[in-house]
Amino acid sequence: MSTTAEHLANGAHAMGEQAQAAADQADAALRRKANQLHKFFEDVEELLSRVSDIGDRDISRLRARVESSIQQVKDAAREGASMAVDSTRRAAKATDGYVHANPWTAIGVGAAAGILIGALLNRK
């Protein structure tokens, strides 16, 4: 027969697993967006390579500026995605640690949130 403490420990462990699953889903979504952005940059770079055959000086300067901008955006996007993934993982680990350290508080907050959401959904 399991005790209340074992139930709480199991609940805390399940919440930690849910936090990790949420972090993994966020990571997958960021990777999909990064792939879409990468495809966009490939298309723009292909367009620039086709325009490079035109010998006009103004077009050459514009092409150089666009290439520089593309590189800056790529670097910023890569850094932003990395920071978002790291932040999500840290939040999941912190949540897991907090729930394990304070199971009663986590249960109370979860119950209060459930009651609040239920009340909002049942409003007419």
Which domain range does residue 55 map to? 4-121
pLDDT digits (tens, 9 = 90+) for 66-75: 778 888 887 8
Say how many domains are in the chain: 1
Q: Which pTM value belongs to this model?
A: 0.46
- Residue 60 has a pLDDT of 75
DSSP code string of the chain: ---HHHHHHHHHHHHHHHHHHHHHHHHHHHHHHHHHHHHHHHHHHHHHHHHTT---HHHHHHHHHHHHHHHHHHHHHHHHHHHHHHHHHHHHHHHHHHHHH-HHHHHHHHHHHHHHHHHHHT--
Distance of CA 75 to the CA centre of its chain: 17
Residues of the chain with pLDDT under 50: 1
